[in-house]
Amino acid sequence: MIADEQLRYFVRHRAKFACGYCGVSETDCGGELTIDHFKPRSKGGADDQENLVYCCVRCNLYKSDFWPVSPEATQLWNPRHELFENHFVVSGNGMLEALTEEGALSLKILRLNRPSLIEHRLIEKQLLLFWRFLLVGSRLTSSTYDLLVRQAELIVDSREVLEPKDTAPPT
């Protein structure tokens, strides 16, 4: 538990109020998420912001105090330093597939193909398809169409449009 409210807010805001590992947002979960120590405190990890990952309850529970037994062992994917796309790809049926050893380990440890996450990915994909369908029927120029599709993708990616109201920094 991070008692420092300003640090907690910083970590939440930096993560756009969504889990760094699986991507579900506070809005999806109906409340604040947790803060994970990427290197667990039990293994010497600090409360430093560089070691903190905003994290949903499930990912935090599954990750627990996992830490590689040696520097040579396969490492867990660190969402703070490495792009999701470098380690995973989402298949058409919503399943996550690993592209690297780190991705495979993370997928297993964090159980990133839990049924609710697969459903979540499919809903986001349908939302994008719906936007595209609406835009195709509206006879826009191709440049305007591309711009609006990109905007829709950004909304789904960032979820800032769904940002909760109680996110003002503590005073």
Positions touching Zn ion (CB under 5 A) are 19, 21-22, 56, 59
Closest CB 144 distance from Zn ion, rounded Å: 35
Of 6 and 116, CB closest to Zn ion: 116
Of 39 and 79, the one with the shorter C-beta distance to Zn ion is 79
- Tokens 């405190």 locate to 41
Say which DSSP state 168 is in.
P
The helix (run of H) or strand (run of E) holding residue 20 is: none
Quote the CA–CA distance of 99 and 87 in Å, as a whole number.
5
Min CB(24)–Zn ion separation in Å: 6
Q: Minimum CB separation from Zn ion for residue 145, in Å?
A: 33
Nearer to Zn ion, 2 or 148 (CB): 2
**End-to-end CA separation in angstroms for the chain:** 20
CB of 68 to Zn ion, least distance (A): 20
Give the C-alpha separation, 122 to 129, whole Å. 10
- Is 72 or 85 the residue whose CB approaches Zn ion more closely? 85
Q: Give the residue among 75, 69, 107, 61 at the shortest CA–CA distance from 88.
A: 107
